């Protein structure tokens, strides 16, 4: 089994090295990540393609989140990494115009002792329809949600969403409204 590395960054977001993925999460090291969120307008309503993370994920299993997310490999561009993970997680091979709209930074500690301390690039794409073939080790479900339904559910049941999803959604909706 190969060692999966993440890119560790300093407090300014400058890469300063690499670390094995699980070790970086055990130590709470700040590292690069990306979150992809595919959206569409359907009958005048803004919708987002969300995934329910596989229950067996190393953290946040069974929670709803953005379309896909992961970490770029050392020397891998964010857009290339995003395309790779759309295929690996969801089997999405539909050509998409992915756009990196900037970063969000967050730190979330989990009950299993792991910490996500990420400089997370938010990557978006508009697509009316995408075909997907879920990798069961990555995602349980993938569904279109109306923005209004996400907002209502976040108020009523915030614990069903991943720790970073609210930031990714806010960054995306702010970008789309400008």
Q: Catalytic positions, please? A: 69, 118
- Binding site listing: 25, 31, 71, 89, 116, 118
* 161 DSSP assignment: B
Distance of CA 70 to the CA centre of its chain: 6
Q: Annotated binding residues for Mg(2+), as ranges?
A: 89
Supply 139's token pair: 């995602």
Residue corresponding to tokens 């094995």: 20
- Residue 97 CA to residue 74 CA, distance in Å, equals 23
Q: Answer for the pair 120, 65: CB distance below 8 angstroms, yes or no.
A: no
Beta bridge pairs of residue 157? none
Coil/strand/helix, residue 7 = strand
- Record the tokens describing residue 76, joined without a space: 């891998």
Total residue count of the chain as it appears in this document: 178
Give the annotated binding-site residues for Mn(2+): 25, 31, 71, 116, 118
């Amino acid at each position: 089994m190969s060692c999966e590395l993440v890119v560790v960054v300093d407090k300014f977001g400058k890469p300063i090295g690499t670390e094995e993925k699980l070790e970086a999460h055990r130590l709470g090291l700040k590292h690069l990540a990306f979150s992809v969120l595919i959206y569409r307008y359907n009958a005048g309503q803004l919708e987002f393609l969300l995934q329910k993370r596989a229950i067996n994920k190393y953290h946040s299993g069974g929670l709803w989140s953005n379309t896909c997310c992961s970490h770029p490999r050392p020397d891998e561009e964010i857009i290339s990494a995003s395309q790779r993970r759309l295929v690996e997680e969801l089997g999405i091979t539909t050509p998409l115009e992915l756009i990196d709209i900037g970063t969000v930074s967050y730190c979330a500690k989990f009950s299993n002792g792991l910490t996500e301390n990420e400089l997370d690039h938010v990557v978006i794409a508009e697509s009316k329809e995408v075909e997907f073939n879920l990798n069961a080790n990555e995602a349980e479900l993938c569904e279109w949600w109306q923005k209004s339904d996400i907002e209502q559910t976040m108020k009523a049941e915030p614990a069903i969403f991943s720790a970073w999803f609210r930031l990714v959604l806010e960054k995306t909706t702010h970008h789309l409204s400008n």
